[in-house]
A and B are shown apart, each in its own frame.
Chain A
């Protein structure tokens, strides 16, 4: 087995060159428009630009990451009120303005931390997170109302001084803010790190079991979006010189979601276009038909949610692609796999058991599923867990990989007690878990999925797409054996069932675990695939000295590859020994496959 090192191909044109070019063109266009367009339109567009910036943050949170938030308006309001309050009560000057901006951003960040603590934790439901983001603007607005004279209560604050610059200049500033934000966001979501947003939206549990602290990631994303929204609010207050509670309320918050939904969630350009079109449109049209306009928007919104959840952007995009002349489509940047340097494994590590289970129990109310489970597993062992349905095998697997699952007893991974650690922390201790149903990320490509798996070991770039992906040798072996190494750019949704299983295994191996938990890995595989995967498992334990723990029903498979078998029955270990010992034991036969053999004996005297 030679060290495989594929030749590096020349990387494709750097993506951010294109983005910067587009941004530059937009800025020039902006400057031109600022003098050419009529004042009424310029006024509206300034507002629309800033709203679009906030809508962009909603798209990042909801469209990409799946966090439905009604609360971005609150952060916008915080930024606006910071300016309004300081300029009203302390007057206006450049240092004060800087101070107001810092205060607004700081306050928004603090509030976002609080929201993050409430809404994003291991096991939180997405519905609850949305509820918290709904309550936030309500609380904020009520706070403003109760502020009396100081906050201007329901009438808001107005008439304060601000920067003395012409409207055209504000047009350029607001537009530039939006363009810079859009370019940065675009580069981020296309980067390797940005793909994690989609991964979280599609399969949060998988991310956690790949060692990613999803809650912290979401909270940090919300912090960033809160700061951006507050900045937009600050600019808004400076331009309009009026702040009112409506700008911080949940009606505005839901409007943002509506604009994003109509424009096209998860597309960046869709929300920008949607916001600008609707906001500017309503400025012109709602004068004539006030309620009808809102009614139409409402109807469009409901229709889009029910029938076209991706919004109108994809429809437009398909139309545009058909209308524009055919260009040679740039290939998705090719990704090349290379071997990662193996981490050093000291001899001392092999002396300690890879897994040490003592007295583990699990009960659901009065139902005892696991009772007094104790055993050690060492590096290089291929340990199979067998037993009838309901014996507790899958429960045991969960208790090993998630510190919060078990009701009693202790689990040590590589000598460290996992106490109540969450799955992503258990992964850090060296354990990987492969689920029974292959859970990969449908919208991502093979290479992107594997890169997410390397997140803990090799944090991806936040603005670039690397053309090389380094993987440990065992993962590369799996990819090569199943042909996946030749399709790095294929989206996971187009893989066959067996290929998805192999990809998930490669993702788990990419974590460089010392222990791998495998939950019915052969389910749904063809005979050939079973043989292949059996060979892989044997290689993992014997050549790479991993400890493998398998839950399996296919006893022939178990017999062929295991070095040791543990038999579980009604939550207890009834037998723990070598393959021959267990296979030939009478106790096991009677417990597990027993009836079929006991029947063979009694059939002669039994009824026909």
Chain B
């Protein structure tokens, strides 16, 4: 059972300039696992995803995706390895249409019809708005479009940065359902960065707390002590 991990991070030190935000992280995600990275702001969660995605070059340490060393690879090459990334800010092309936003994630334009048909039952409202500019959708619809764009390319790994921020509870529930379905039917590996603990625990089977660039606590979300551990780190 020693299949290569989908995500393998060793002694990762990364940050901006001399500000080392991540101070020696180790992480391992096997196929089909969903891990939630929890922590307060400024603790390095976004930096972790950006480093995995190749936007930031780590100062020390190694990143391997699907068993292949990706340290220092540029974002577009990592994306080509079936990694979908939903950034926290400026994640959509506001002036492009819904269809164009979705097509940009694909390798070939002509696959669009077939691939969209596979997911359009998850996002029923999108079908009628393909020609609309993405910026005219409501906040919740835009977030859903982001998820659709991530899923349409059938990725093997999804990285999501605080997607529930500013989302209505009803939309969050729908999102939970969509991600659970993806996890169970497609076996997609996911790494969720979150502050919304209930959402995270609903979808993830593992969790890790990121504090001041290190992981002081991690485990399975099913453990009875998980909630208490997490609350301790996130409490006001």
Contacts and interface: CB of A to CB of B under 8 A. Distances in A.
Direct A/B contact, Cβ within 8 angstroms: yes
A608 B41 CA distance: 26
Contacts of A583: 236
B40 A553 contact: yes
B227 interface: yes
Contacts, number: 77
B71 to A, nearest CB: 22
A588 B88 CA distance: 23
A527 interface: yes
Contacts of B42: 520, 522-523, 553-554
A555 B231 contact: no
A570 B212 CA distance: 26
A202 to B, nearest CB: 15
Interface in A363-395: 388-390
Nearest to B222: A608
Contacts of B212: 527
B18 A497 contact: yes
A598 B201 CA distance: 13
A389 B21 contact: no
B198 A606 contact: yes
B197 interface: yes
Contacts of B16: 437, 524
Interface in A572-608: 583, 588-589, 592-593, 595-600, 602-603, 606-608
A593 B235 contact: yes
B236 A589 contact: yes
A441 to B, nearest CB: 15
Contacts of A288: none
Given A437-B16, A496-B18, A553-B42, A596 B197 contact: yes
Q: Which of A554, A595, A607 neighbours the largest number of chain B CB atoms within 10 Å of its CB?
A: A595
A595 B41 contact: no
Contact of A497 (B19, B234, B235): B19
B188 interface: no
Contacts of A598: 198
Contacts of A554: 40, 42
B236 A592 contact: yes
B80 to A, nearest CB: 29
B34 to A, nearest CB: 14
Interface of B: 15-21, 40-42, 88, 162, 165-166, 195-199, 201-202, 212, 221-222, 227-228, 230-231, 234-236
Given A593-B234, A603-B227, 14 more contacts: A389-B162, A497-B18, A497-B20, A523-B19, A524-B15, A583-B236, A592-B236, A593-B235, A596-B230, A596-B235, A597-B235, A599-B198, A606-B202, A607-B202
